[in-house]
Amino acid sequence: SFVSAKIDEKFDLIIGNPPYIRWKNLEYELKQELSNNPIWNKYFNSLCDYLYIFILKSIELLNDNGQLIFICPEYWMNTTHSISLRNYMVQNGYFEEIYHFNETPIFDKVTVSIIIFKFVKSKETKDKIKVSKFYDNQKLSDEILYNLKNKIPFNNAEFLIVSQFKLNERWILQSDDVRQELQILETNCLKKNQNTLFNLFDEDKQEFHTIGEFCDIGNGLVSGLDKAFQVNGHALTENELNATINVVKAKDLKPFVIDNITKYIYIDEEGLEEEFFKENYPNFYNHFQKHKSSLDKRYQYNRNINYWEWVFLRNFNLFKKEEKRIFVPCKERISNKDYFRFALVDEGVFPTQDVTAIFKKHNTKESIEYILAYLNNPIVFDWLKCNGIVKGNIVEFSEKPISSIPFRVIDWSNENEVELHNLISHQTKIYLKNQDKSLLYQINQSFNKLFSITQ
């Protein structure tokens, strides 16, 4: 196989569509082959991908100024465990061009984002890389390829000039401005006492403060069939009215605020028999009958769930806390927007499964309004776009990705910072009342002042 083949020749051009398989998914024989391979042992380990050795060995096989052109997934440009491959590439040449296809179905049944890169083996380097991005999820046509190749602007394409990647950096296909902005955010969120020269060169050692340290986070409640639980203006008895909860659905979230609250049926009575259910909740009973067969087919989580019950009340105790909370859609498509929708919601309002809720931990001093404004900040948007869990054009906001967002904590011994925290909280409170767009600009200005304290 290519891994252990002894190849004495050198080449001016290598073109390929190499395999990519995580170590843990490799067959036993392939693992054995890699374990006996000097290149693998020198640069990689069991957290690496089969792809890496194909890239590195191909570069070894190039003549000076020889070119490597590969079509492959993009994930290794950004992950921690590919750092030795990336450093090898930075030290042995430069990129001339990269094409990035986001969600574009290039190969059947392959859903990862694909790149095509041209790397030149050289002792010299070049300042800039030509990057072309295509965002659409439609199949490629000759015309699209022609336009991309010739850098002819069209819808869903972006052409960027990106600085050559550097040692020990994640490779981010963004303009220098955005890269600088992300650097500012990360420096701001770095834990104190870590910023030593040693740590700066070891990306595993650098640690940010994260939202997860300061907030409790939980995904919303699962009814199993939302339309059956929505009250939708039915006339209700008083008993029934008391058996409803206020819920916000993802589609009703906006940045900072919500559009709409929906009433859902929620009967908090254990061991209720159908007979009593019918008697005590007659309108609910009638309403549920038309959905009964679908309700019975819901996933039962290994329990016997009555058709009037929610299937999974995960995080219910968290949601019952008597305090404001921040809601965000679990998934957000960003192909046509440049913001996320973190919204402040009153106590007593619950999230459904398409929403994740964020609560301040009890010892967090930063205000909920400050956290809200922070999460809606454009720099955090850019950071998440580059570093979050992004699949195609969809950014995921389940518990884990939200907890790992870097957080700009306030240094409470610094008057200037405290003042800016209070100002941001105040500006946000006013925005929540009147939604005057000019305040958003002011809030971002205040954050910029805060970020500039740490530079």
Ligand X SMILES: C[S@@+](CC[C@H](N)C(=O)[O-])C[C@H]1O[C@@H](n2cnc3c(N)ncnc32)[C@H](O)[C@@H]1O
Least Cα distance to 375 among 185, 219, 247, 203 occurs for 185
In sequence order, what are the beta bridge partners of 395? 332, 390
CB of 91 to ligand X, least distance (A): 25
CA atoms within 13 A on the CB side of 124: 5
**315 class by beta-carbon count within 10 Å (0-12 exposed, 13-18 middle, 19+ buried):** buried
Least Cα distance to 248 among 259, 261, 230, 235 occurs for 261
Taking CB under 6 A as the binding criterion, the range among 12-20, 78-86, 144-152, 281-289 that sits at the site for ligand X is: 12-20
- The site string for ligand X over 286-305 (x = CB under 6 A, - otherwise) reads --------------------
- The site string for ligand X over 19-58 (x = CB under 6 A, - otherwise) reads x---------------------------------------
Q: Which residue from 3, 172, 418, 432 is in contact with ligand X, where contact means CB under 6 A?
A: 3
Q: CB nearer to ligand X: give 1 or 150.
A: 1
111 makes contact with ligand X (CB under 6 A): no
Q: CB nearer to ligand X: give 39 or 157.
A: 39
CB of 2 to ligand X, least distance (A): 3
Taking CB under 6 A as the binding criterion, the range among 17-25, 82-90, 182-190, 308-316 that sits at the site for ligand X is: 17-25
73 makes contact with ligand X (CB under 6 A): no
CB of 18 to ligand X, least distance (A): 6
* Interactions with ligand X, residue window 238-267 (CB under 6 A): none
1 makes contact with ligand X (CB under 6 A): yes
Taking CB under 6 A as the binding criterion, the range among 1-9, 124-132, 340-348, 424-432 that sits at the site for ligand X is: 1-9
Asked if 231 and 273 touch (Cβ cutoff 8 Å), the reply is no
Q: Which amino acid is at 340?
A: F
CB of 17 to ligand X, least distance (A): 4
Taking CB under 6 A as the binding criterion, the range among 14-22, 163-171, 205-213, 336-344 that sits at the site for ligand X is: 14-22
17 makes contact with ligand X (CB under 6 A): yes
CA atoms within 13 A on the CB side of 179: 15
CB of 7 to ligand X, least distance (A): 12
CB of 9 to ligand X, least distance (A): 16
Asked if 217 and 211 touch (Cβ cutoff 8 Å), the reply is yes
CB of 26 to ligand X, least distance (A): 10
CB of 214 to ligand X, least distance (A): 43
Number of residues interacting with ligand X: please give it, by CB under 6 A.
6
105 makes contact with ligand X (CB under 6 A): no
Binding interface with ligand X (CB under 6 A): 1-3, 17-19
